[in-house]
Amino acid sequence: MSEQSPTVVLHLESRPQTLTIVRGILGGLAEVLAIDPELLDDLKTAVSEACNNVVLHAYGGAPGPMRVRVFVEPERLRVTVEDDGVGLPPGGRGLDEASGIGVSVIRALTEDARFAPGSDGGTVVEMDFAGHRDGKTLYQVPGSPDGAAPEQPIAPLQPGEVVVTLSPVNLFAPVLGRLARTLAATAHFSLDRFSDVYLVTDTIAAHANGATAGPRIGARVMASERRLELVVGPFRRGTGAVLQASGAARPSPLALLSDEVSVQRDGETELVHVVVIDHRR
């Protein structure tokens, strides 16, 4: 993959709601990449099969870490699904002879699919989707001056937490929006408060377009009963104050709609921490 390829990296636990989260993020990408509906359907189905295998088989039905990476190039789209679970069947038989994998579905919907053991155990499924079919361009990478950035390590996940990192920044708005709304639904937000999540993520994404500290941006999102918590960044130092403005003549929508907005310094950059709670009884 080219270092300039747009990338989305998702870290989450292999729970039943995993498929909804992943499919939502793929749908978010379709909002900014001119992805043909046929390709999007194939993409969602094949990736869902790979993720479902992790949920059902990698950790014996228990939750465990899973990583989904999406790389976009003009001629192809590549997705990898990786886990740290039980790995491929012994004896070198490969994934084809394991049960309940959906390998035939994955291979039918992709240009190429590869199944391999992970470097530290587990399994890696790598799927390629063609950028052209019958001479027709199915998607176009949006122009962006900042390109992509090398993937950075993340801290261990907390229960119920999802981490997404991506570049370029113009992919951020639909991805964050879909992720936050999916988790708000699992946290049983009311319809009114769920609508507020749209405005919260739109405000954060609009801020990110002019305030990020580099070509990559990330978000940690955690949902619990009627509570949604986001930590987003890195932003340039000093830029987060506008999001906290609650007593100004024109208060920030984020300050009005959130229960808590704070800025955390991280060296020469800063992270914005937002909490949204549904207080209904």
pLDDT along the chain (281 residues), means of 10: 69 91 91 82 94 90 93 86 82 48 85 88 91 58 48 69 91 92 93 92 92 91 95 93 72 88 91 93 60
Give the per-residue pLDDT at 141. 53
CATH architecture for segment(s) 161-277: 2-Layer Sandwich (3.30)
Give the per-residue pLDDT at 1. 45
Please state the φ and ψ torsions of residue 245, each to the nearest 5 degrees. Answer: -65, 105
> Can you give the pTM of this predicted structure?
0.87
Give the per-residue pLDDT at 144. 45
- Residue range(s) in the chain whose domain bears CATH number 3.30.565.10: 7-137, 161-277
Q: Is there a cis peptide before residue 168, judged by omega within 30 degrees of 0? A: yes
The CB density around residue 17, as the number of other CB atoms within 10 Å, is 17
The domain 7-137 is classified under which CATH number: 1.20.1250.20, 3.40.50.2300, 3.40.50.720, 3.30.565.10? 3.30.565.10
Give the per-residue pLDDT at 136. 59
Which two structure tokens, joined as six digits, stand for 249?
């003549």
Give the per-residue pLDDT at 147. 45
Amino acid at 39: L
Give the per-residue pLDDT at 245. 73
Give the per-residue pLDDT at 152. 59
Q: Which long-range contacts (CB under 8 A, 24 or more apart) does 147-156 make?
A: 147/3, 147/4, 147/215, 148/2, 148/3, 148/4, 148/5, 148/6, 148/7, 148/215, 148/216, 149/214, 149/215, 149/216, 150/3, 151/7, 151/9, 151/69, 152/216, 152/218, 154/11, 154/218
